Homo-oligomer: A and B are copies of this chain.
Amino acid sequence: MPQKLKHLLSTQSLKKSEIEEILALAKEMEPYAKKEKQGNQMKGKILAALFYEPSTRTRLSFETAMLRLGGETLSVTDVNTSSITKGESLIDTAKVISQFADIVAIRHSQNGAVNEFSKGSSVPTVNAGDGTSQHPSQALLDAYTIQKELGKIDGLTIAISGDLKYGRTPSSLAFLLSNYNIKFRFISPKELKMKPEVITHLNRLKTPYEQTQNFEKGMKDVDVLYMTRIQRERFENFKEYERLKNVYVLTKKIVLKNNPKMIIMHPLPRVNEIATDVDELKNAVYFRQVENGIAVRMAIILTRFL
């Protein structure tokens, strides 16, 4: 691999041209993602999916993307049983694993762990989520879904609700969409307000945003309502989790009352924060995000080798 390695570590590090390249290529990948065609673009190549924090959905999405492009996969899911528990550094792990695989998708429970891994890796490294920090492939599939459902990204108003403090998805998405002409509305309890680094970033860019605790007001007039789960695993204080977990619950009635036209997104898994009667609405797009995710991850994989 003589050229400079094309890691995908964060949405901040993506240029707008790179985002657009991935979104365009994802569109071409749809027939493969939809099981209409079998690819061979990755024939003879191996993706290592290193999931040091469990995530069935994201792991299988990356593996599916690789398999449907004709590639092969290696999986590590034994969180507590890897070399890591023997005390090896992530840089050493990377030096080893990158000799096996042609590309690595890695998830880790600690912020910055994927960055650290990438320093030792001799192959492209894709951040599949690290701690409360980043989840760039999710943000890219979210942007792709918005563009596909609404025909554009520029000019939209996007509400992001839920746990904006610990969630990696809201901040990853906000950073990514700040490349576009967007208005944000951040809906959260005051304990879970959007991370300061996102706020600072948007202020610097003069990207307009509002912050509110009022769920129903927050969703009025937006084009997109992006819901997130209050993640138990991010709370050190279980009582605080219990108090906040059901703070926002979207129902069909609430959608129809406040904004029947907005598209409703969610990175999944959802627990109680979206009632199942919302699923019936044709603008509930969260399960379509999954399909888009395969196509987008195909594009992420392919662009690592361009």
Known contacts A38-B44, A46-B64, A72-B67; is-contact A78 B56 (Cβ 8 Å): yes
Indicate the member of A54, A76, A95, A96 with the most B CB atoms within 10 Å.
A96
Q: Name the CB-closest residue of B to A50.
A: B56
Residues of B within 8 A of A99 (CB): 287, 290-291, 294
Q: Name the CB-closest residue of B to A53.
A: B81
Task: Give the distance to chain B from A83, nearest Cβ to Cβ, in Å.
Answer: 4
Residues of B within 8 A of A102 (CB): 35
Query: How many copies, total?
Result: 3
Digit string of A230-248 for contact with B (CB within 8 Å is 1, else 0)?
0111000000000000000
Tell me whether A190 is interfacial, beta carbon within 8 Å: no
A30-89 CB contacts (< 8 Å) to partner B: 35, 38, 43-44, 46, 48, 54-57, 60-61, 63-64, 67-68, 72, 74-79, 81-83, 85-89
Asked if A56 and B82 sit within 8 Å, CB to CB, the answer is yes
Residues of B within 8 A of A44 (CB): 38, 68
In the bound complex, what is the Cα–Cα distance between A60 and B101 (angstroms)? 9
In the bound complex, what is the Cα–Cα distance between A35 and B101 (angstroms)? 9
Known contacts A54-B81, A56-B78, A56-B83; is-contact A100 B61 (Cβ 8 Å): yes
Tell me whether A150 is interfacial, beta carbon within 8 Å: no
Asked if B83 and A57 sit within 8 Å, CB to CB, the answer is yes
Tell me whether A269 is interfacial, beta carbon within 8 Å: yes
- Counting chain A residues whose Cβ lies within 8 A of the other chain, the interface size class is 35 or more
Asked if B60 and A97 sit within 8 Å, CB to CB, the answer is yes
Asked if B46 and A88 sit within 8 Å, CB to CB, the answer is no
Contact of A74 among B35, B60, B269, B287 (CB under 8 A): B60
Residues of B within 8 A of A48 (CB): 60
Residues of B within 8 A of A43 (CB): 38
Task: Give the distance to chain B from A60, nearest Cβ to Cβ, in Å.
Answer: 5
A165-203 CB contacts (< 8 Å) to partner B: none
Contact of A88 among B64, B68, B231, B268 (CB under 8 A): B268
Tell me whether A18 is interfacial, beta carbon within 8 Å: no
Asked if A270 and B81 sit within 8 Å, CB to CB, the answer is no
Task: Give the distance to chain B from A31, nearest Cβ to Cβ, in Å.
Answer: 12
Asked if B46 and A268 sit within 8 Å, CB to CB, the answer is no
Task: Give the distance to chain B from A65, nearest Cβ to Cβ, in Å.
Answer: 9
Asked if A64 and B271 sit within 8 Å, CB to CB, the answer is no
